[in-house]
């Protein structure tokens, strides 16, 4: 691996290798305490974050390295410095860059100009680190044979999940309101896989082993679209159509909007396992990028 910008940057074998290393890191964290000694990760943020920032920063520390939090509004890019110049200079100072951006093409451009590995911490199009952690969580719970159902907005999380499920041969069902389906480019990428896009939440959830949702309105988007999602809330009644499914959410969650509190806080919810696994999986990714 060199960059992790898009799930399609990774082969199934590379993903399995990351998961096996994650198993080792979780089982014997002390064995990896110095694996990234003297390595520095630059964390470039155009969007605020809780899980992405803390999981990467704490993960680098636990591997013996160092992470620098670098908000875009405190960089010279906020005063007009080019992305190319920024990427070239940061590559001279650090060993890897993790970026959380708006436009995906900016992420692609950053990786083009950087001379160190670049990790996509989120763009409006894709969220590969989240998807990697989610499927690892399915694997931990013994349900990575699917089906996985995603109900809500066909957003960056849904799109990376579709790609990862396609790569790992996991049946995936995406249910969105009309007009909020995943990007046609992503649908084309998974056209030959067992991935279905529907406007019917019951169809998607029926027989699923995991049911996933995300906020209806992502960061920086208009609140006006929430009316379109009436009937897409994950409720106990919707979950009854599943195969006693686990409930998943990438967080932050809005109880009473995209998910009923009884589901979010119920016995089948594995949302905190997902959140914890962000750190473990990303530690494995960092190890493969910087220590091998």
SS3 per residue for 88-137: HHHHHHCCEEEEECCCHHHHHHHHHHCCCCEEEEECCCCCHHHHHHHHHH
* pLDDT reported for residue 1: 64
For residues 34 and 64, is the Cβ–Cβ distance under 8 A?
yes
Burial class (CB in 10 A: 0-12, 13-18, 19+), 204: buried
The annotation status of 250 as a binding-site residue, yes or no, is: yes
Pairing of strands 172-175, 96-100: unpaired
Annotation-wise, does 282 bind a ligand?
A: no
Please tell me the distance from the alpha carbon of residue 41 to that of residue 119, in angstroms, as a whole number. 10
Catalytic position from the list 250, 260, 279, 280 = 250
Question: Residue 222: what pLDDT?
Answer: 54
Verify whether residue 139 is a known catalytic residue. no
51 marked among binding-site residues: yes
User: One of 6, 95, 124, 127 is an active-site residue; which one?
Assistant: 127
238-259 pLDDT per residue, tens: 999 999 999 999 999 999 999 9
130 labeled part of a ligand binding site: yes
Any binding-site annotation on 165? Answer: no
Residue among 62, 130, 159, 233 flagged as catalytic? 130
Q: Is 242 annotated as a binding residue?
A: no
- Which member of 3, 144, 214, 260 is catalytic? 214
Task: Name the stretches of the chain with pLDDT < 50.
Answer: none
Catalytic residue among 139, 278, 280, 287: 278
100 given a catalytic annotation: yes
Q: What global pTM score does this model have?
A: 0.96
251 is in an annotated binding site: yes
pLDDT, tens digit (0-9, with 9 covering 90-100), for 57-110? 999 999 999 999 999 988 888 888 999 999 999 999 999 999 999 999 999 999
Residues in the chain: 292
Q: How far apart are CA 245 and CA 69, in angstroms?
A: 37
- The answer to whether 255 is a known ligand-binding residue is no
Q: Pick the catalytic residue: 100, 189, 249, 287? A: 100
The question of whether 214 is a catalytic residue gets the answer yes
Domains of the chain: 7-127+278-290 (3.40.50.1370), 130-275 (3.40.50.1370)
**Does 11 count as an annotated binding residue?**
no
Task: Tell me whether residue 250 is one of the annotated catalytic residues.
Answer: yes
- What is the reported pLDDT for 80? 86
Angle (CA) 193-198-204 rounded to 5° is 80
Distance CA 269, CA 244 (A): 11
Instruction: Name the H helices within the chain.
Output: 12-27, 51-62, 83-93, 104-113, 128-140, 156-167, 184-189, 201-205, 236-239, 261-264, 271-290
Tokens encoding 144: 């990575």
């Amino acid at each position: 691996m060199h960059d992790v910008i898009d799930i399609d940057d990774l082969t199934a074998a590379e993903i399995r290798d990351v998961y096996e290393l994650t198993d080792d890191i979780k089982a014997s964290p002390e064995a990896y305490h110095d694996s990234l000694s003297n390595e520095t990760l630059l964390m470039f943020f155009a969007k605020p974050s809780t899980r992405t920032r803390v999981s990467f920063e704490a993960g680098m520390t636990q591997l013996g390295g160092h992470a620098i939090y670098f908000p875009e509004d405190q960089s010279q890019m906020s005063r007009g410095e080019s992305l190319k110049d920024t990427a070239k200079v940061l590559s001279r100072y650090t060993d890897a860059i993790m970026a959380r951006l708006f436009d995906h093409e900016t992420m692609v451009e950053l990786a083009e100009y950087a001379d160190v590995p670049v990790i996509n911490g989120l763009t409006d199009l894709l969220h590969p680190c989240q998807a990697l952690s989610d499927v690892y969580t399915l694997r931990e719970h013994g349900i990575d044979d699917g089906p996985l159902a995603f109900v809500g907005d066909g957003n960056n999380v849904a799109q990376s999940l579709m790609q990862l499920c396609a790569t790992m041969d996991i049946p995936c069902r995406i249910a969105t309101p009309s007009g909020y389906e995943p990007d046609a480019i992503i649908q084309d990428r998974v056209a030959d896989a067992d991935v279905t896009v529907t406007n019917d939440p019951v169809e998607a959830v029926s027989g699923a082993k995991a049911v996933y949702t995300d906020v209806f309105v992502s960061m920086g988007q208009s609140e006006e679209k929430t009316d379109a999602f009436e009937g897409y809330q994950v409720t106990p009644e919707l979950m009854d159509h599943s195969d006693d499914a686990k409930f998943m959410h990438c967080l932050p969650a809005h109880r009473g909007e995209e998910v009923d509190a009884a589901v979010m806080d119920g016995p089948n919810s594995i949302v905190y396992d997902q959140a914890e696994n962000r750190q473990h999986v990303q530690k494995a990714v960092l190890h493969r990028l910087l220590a091998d």
